[in-house]
Amino acid sequence: MATDQALDEAGHLAFHMRPGRLLAAAVALVAALALLSGGTAAAAASTAPTVRQIITVTTKSYGSTYATLTAYRWTGRAWVRTLGPWTARIGADGMARPHAKIEGDDLTPQGTYGFGFMFGVLPKPSGVTFSWYHAYSYDVWDDDPASARYNLWTDRRHAWPGRNPEPMHNVPAYDYAAVIAYNTARTPGLGSAIFLHVGTGSATGGCVSLPASQLLAVLRWLRPADSPRITMAVGRVAP
């Protein structure tokens, strides 16, 4: 059984729904979520991952702009579905093939990622425990690969945000949102500004979106202490 640390380093995710079952996904950087064969409930509990909250976002094909979002929590003995399945929207060009996400495309990156802070044009909702940034008109996201602040939230009053930055004061998409920790190394050109945000009725520029009421339920459910992860994949993720 791989440890959570090893899986994180390899870009993989340990994901046991119950002993003796496999939860698999065709995810870039994820060879398999995990296999627990022939173990007991006690053994499952003893190998419980540090990650105790998982969100899966899956599509049936690379070109689809619709996805299914489901949230699971670790009980200490098994993974239990908590929210969803709900219909989400992803990039206007669908899901990126492994290692193929680049700056400026409309593809959602495959893989398993953590969460950064949360933010919004509106005040921090009650029940949200992540750090919250209020988005003002001068707040942007630097998406210029040539910029020193590439893939960072930037207050343009105090720092140059590169060319054509992403406005954070964006209604209604960014009324509420969570930063998906994609390309945290800020490698130029690999893509930036990947969020979980309010749906607008259309596909996104590479983010994942949900209707506002469902998104708020997710944002309130996510807990930093539970090391939540989000897995975005082409293919079925099911027990």
Domain membership of residue 9 (yes or no) is no
pLDDT tens sequence across 93-115: 999 998 899 999 999 999 999 99
Which residue shows structure tokens 């339920």?
217
Domain membership of residue 111 (yes or no) is yes
Supply the pLDDT for residue 236. 75
pLDDT tens sequence across 9-62: 334 333 333 333 334 333 333 333 332 223 333 434 445 459 999 999 999 999
Looking at the predicted structure, is the pLDDT value of residue 80 above 80? yes
Domain membership of residue 32 (yes or no) is no
Domain membership of residue 209 (yes or no) is yes
Strand partners, 153: 141
Confidence of residue 238 (pLDDT cuts 50, 70, 90): low
Looking at the predicted structure, is the pLDDT value of residue 200 above 70? yes
Tell me which residue range forms the domain holding 223: 50-135+170-234
Domain membership of residue 117 (yes or no) is yes
Domain membership of residue 204 (yes or no) is yes
First to last CA, the chain: 18
Can you give the CATH number for the domain in which 94 is found?
2.40.440
The total number of structural domains in the chain stands at 1
Domain membership of residue 196 (yes or no) is yes
Domain membership of residue 21 (yes or no) is no
Looking at the predicted structure, is the pLDDT value of residue 2 above 60? no
